[in-house]
Amino acid sequence: MYKFYNANSKGNFVNDCVIRAISLAEDMSWNETYEKLSDIAQSEGILLDDIDFVENYLDKRYRRMPHYSKTVEEFSNEYPEGTYLVTMPNHITAIIDGTIFDTFDCRDYKMWSAWKVK
């Protein structure tokens, strides 16, 4: 199931999927998450939306679950309980108890990996 979700503190539709997804999964505000990720990225000399930054951040905190051949919807159906962060080409989304929370419907996108947050 897909549900529209935009945590952007100004309600903007911008390239902030990393902040939106992680803030929801980690139960933090958009602003808190933006500051936290910005500080970490700055200390590492990388942009916070770079795939290497995102994967390293998630790998340090959560268990990675590779699922390269599944769609986001297939994964959400297979894991109907729990909180997950799921990457796909140029995007990351949060799935909570089988519901995909995002600013657009990415159910048909092929995923790269997932991390179990809770």
Pairing outcome for strands 63-66 and 113-116 = antiparallel
Pairing outcome for strands 99-102 and 83-88 = unpaired
Look at residue 4 in the predicted model and tell me its pLDDT.
97
Look at residue 29 in the predicted model and tell me its pLDDT.
96
Q: How far apart are alpha carbons 34 and 22 in whole angstroms? A: 9
Tens of pLDDT along 24-37?
A: 999 999 999 999 99
| Low-confidence residues in the chain, pLDDT < 50 | none
Look at residue 25 in the predicted model and tell me its pLDDT.
98
pTM: 0.92
Domain ranges of the chain: 2-116
